[in-house]
Amino acid sequence: AIAVAVSGFYLHISKTDWLWIIIATALVLITEILNTAIEKLVDLVSPGYNELAGKVKDIAAGAVFLAATLSVVIGILVFIPYL
Protein backbone atom coordinates (compact mmCIF):
# COMPACT_ATOMS: atom_id res chain seq x y z
CA ALA A 1 0.00 0.00 0.00
CA ILE A 2 2.88 2.36 0.77
CA ALA A 3 4.57 1.59 -2.55
CA VAL A 4 1.30 2.23 -4.38
CA ALA A 5 0.82 5.57 -2.58
CA VAL A 6 4.38 6.66 -3.37
CA SER A 7 3.91 5.63 -6.99
CA GLY A 8 0.66 7.57 -7.14
CA PHE A 9 2.32 10.73 -5.89
CA TYR A 10 5.30 10.27 -8.20
CA LEU A 11 3.13 9.69 -11.28
CA HIS A 12 0.60 12.42 -10.33
CA ILE A 13 -2.43 10.18 -10.82
CA SER A 14 -5.86 11.83 -11.08
CA LYS A 15 -8.32 12.23 -8.22
CA THR A 16 -10.55 9.56 -9.73
CA ASP A 17 -7.62 7.15 -9.89
CA TRP A 18 -6.79 7.96 -6.27
CA LEU A 19 -10.36 7.04 -5.37
CA TRP A 20 -9.97 3.63 -7.01
CA ILE A 21 -6.64 3.04 -5.25
CA ILE A 22 -8.11 4.01 -1.87
CA ILE A 23 -11.13 1.76 -2.38
CA ALA A 24 -8.93 -1.18 -3.40
CA THR A 25 -6.62 -0.70 -0.42
CA ALA A 26 -9.53 -0.35 2.00
CA LEU A 27 -11.20 -3.46 0.58
CA VAL A 28 -8.09 -5.56 1.21
CA LEU A 29 -7.64 -4.17 4.74
CA ILE A 30 -11.32 -4.69 5.60
CA THR A 31 -11.35 -8.28 4.35
CA GLU A 32 -8.11 -9.00 6.22
CA ILE A 33 -9.62 -7.65 9.46
CA LEU A 34 -12.76 -9.76 8.95
CA ASN A 35 -10.61 -12.80 8.16
CA THR A 36 -8.69 -12.34 11.41
CA ALA A 37 -11.92 -11.95 13.37
CA ILE A 38 -13.37 -15.11 11.82
CA GLU A 39 -10.19 -17.07 12.54
CA LYS A 40 -10.16 -15.95 16.19
CA LEU A 41 -13.83 -16.83 16.57
CA VAL A 42 -13.31 -20.26 15.02
CA ASP A 43 -10.36 -20.87 17.35
CA LEU A 44 -12.55 -19.87 20.31
CA VAL A 45 -15.46 -22.16 19.50
CA SER A 46 -13.36 -25.01 18.15
CA PRO A 47 -9.96 -25.07 19.88
CA GLY A 48 -9.13 -28.59 18.72
CA TYR A 49 -8.78 -29.88 15.17
CA ASN A 50 -12.04 -29.69 13.27
CA GLU A 51 -12.28 -30.18 9.51
CA LEU A 52 -15.26 -27.84 9.17
CA ALA A 53 -13.47 -25.13 11.18
CA GLY A 54 -10.56 -25.41 8.77
CA LYS A 55 -12.90 -24.97 5.81
CA VAL A 56 -14.40 -21.84 7.40
CA LYS A 57 -10.90 -20.40 7.80
CA ASP A 58 -10.05 -21.29 4.20
CA ILE A 59 -13.18 -19.56 2.92
CA ALA A 60 -12.37 -16.40 4.89
CA ALA A 61 -8.80 -16.47 3.55
CA GLY A 62 -10.24 -16.91 0.06
CA ALA A 63 -12.15 -13.66 0.47
CA VAL A 64 -8.89 -11.88 1.27
CA PHE A 65 -7.27 -13.47 -1.78
CA LEU A 66 -10.10 -12.28 -4.03
CA ALA A 67 -9.90 -8.75 -2.61
CA ALA A 68 -6.13 -8.71 -3.12
CA THR A 69 -6.50 -10.00 -6.69
CA LEU A 70 -9.08 -7.33 -7.45
CA SER A 71 -6.78 -4.67 -6.02
CA VAL A 72 -3.97 -5.83 -8.32
CA VAL A 73 -6.30 -5.57 -11.32
CA ILE A 74 -7.35 -2.07 -10.23
CA GLY A 75 -3.70 -1.12 -9.76
CA ILE A 76 -2.84 -2.32 -13.26
CA LEU A 77 -5.77 -0.46 -14.79
CA VAL A 78 -4.88 2.73 -12.93
CA PHE A 79 -1.10 2.76 -13.40
CA ILE A 80 -0.62 1.39 -16.93
CA PRO A 81 -1.74 4.63 -18.65
CA TYR A 82 0.81 6.60 -16.59
CA LEU A 83 3.74 4.36 -17.51
Q: Which residues are catalytic?
A: 32
Is the CA virtual torsion 4, 15, 71, 83 positive or negative? Answer: negative
Who contacts 65 (Cβ-Cβ below 8 Å, separation ≥6)? none
